[in-house]
Structure 1
Amino acid sequence: MIEKKDDDKNTSHKNVPFFAMDCPCKGKNLDKLIQPSILLVLSKKSQHGFTIVSELEKSPLCNGNAPDATGVYRYLKKMEEAGLLTSEWEIESGDKPKRVYAITANGRKCLANWSEVLENYARNITILVEQIRSETE
């Protein structure tokens, strides 16, 4: 059971308690959506890891909050091992070498598949939200 602290404030949604713990109901556990987000960033152009993290921060998924950079780099490595990305070192004179990531043909196919999957999720989530609202209003 999740307990509400006496001094907790309501969120922007009426009558929705703000829980002190890191509850999934706060929308923070959307890490599975990091893959399509990275693929989308790289579908536009090849990027350094730091730039990918910055672009993710601007995305609706992160809502202006910087994602865990270590986790993003770990995921980039997994995606490269799966053949969705490639990377190579960029060496500019006087600068530290930087790894540049690019989407592959398989990565583009994966991104197209994500589009269909997310559309299906969106439909199902809309239905779920309507059902929850009808039970909680």
Structure 2
Amino acid sequence: MNKTLKCPCYGTTLSKLVHPVVLTILAIKDVHGYQIAELAAKTPLLAGSRPDTAGIYHLLRTMEKSGYVKVMRQISEKGPARKVYHLTASGRVCLQTWLETLSRYHKALGSFLKTAGRVHVKGEAKDKRKRAQP
């Protein structure tokens, strides 16, 4: 399989919706990993569910290896230097691909929901007719 196609932005692993959330946060501003987890929990996509901080750091390492983020050290007056993550040009391309993929899924899901809704309503009507018969 093509290495590029393994990227979840192509829709092969949509269970990892944290990926586009992190990319979006980093497209807005450079932040450290703990802040990303806090901000991610506030996004509508995650509906207030805070992602696991260890999982965020694992994703950031993966994104760094893929060239989507760059790590910079920020000196802190209150403690050790922090890693601050910056979205690269490749990361912006990945985010754009995510947007296109999610848009396609949104359209397909709308169509699916219409069809499933019609099937469900028809099934309900059949069930009601069966129950109404003596």
TM bin, normalised by shorter chain, reads: 0.7 to 0.9
- Which residue in 2 is equivalent to 1:127? 111
Instruction: Report the TM-score when normalising by structure 1.
Output: 0.74
Among 63, 66, 84, the residue aligned to 1:82: 66
- AA paired with 1:85? V
Greater RCO, CA 8 A, separation 6+? 2
Larger Rg: 2
Deviations 1:104-128 (A, max 9, x none): 0101111112111111110001111
Q: Is 1:51 paired with 2:12?
A: no
- The structure where helix makes up a greater share of residues is 2
SS of 1:32's equivalent?
coil
Alignment of 1:87-126 (within 5 A): 87-126=71-110
Q: Distance in 1 between matches of 2:94 and 2:78?
A: 37
Alignment of 1:32-47 (within 5 A): 32-47=16-31
Q: Say how many residue pairs are matched.
A: 109
**TM-align CA RMSD:** 1.6
> 5+ unaligned residues in a row in structure 1: which ranges?
1-28
Q: Distance in 1 between matches of 2:63 and 2:111?
A: 32
Distance 1:61 1:30, change over 3 A: farther
| Maintained 8 Å contact 2:18/2:51 | no
Q: Distance in 2 between matches of 1:94 and 1:119?
A: 43
Q: Distance in 1 between matches of 2:14 and 2:96?
A: 19
Q: Which runs of 4+ in 1 moved over 4 A?
A: none
**Identical pairs, percent:** 32
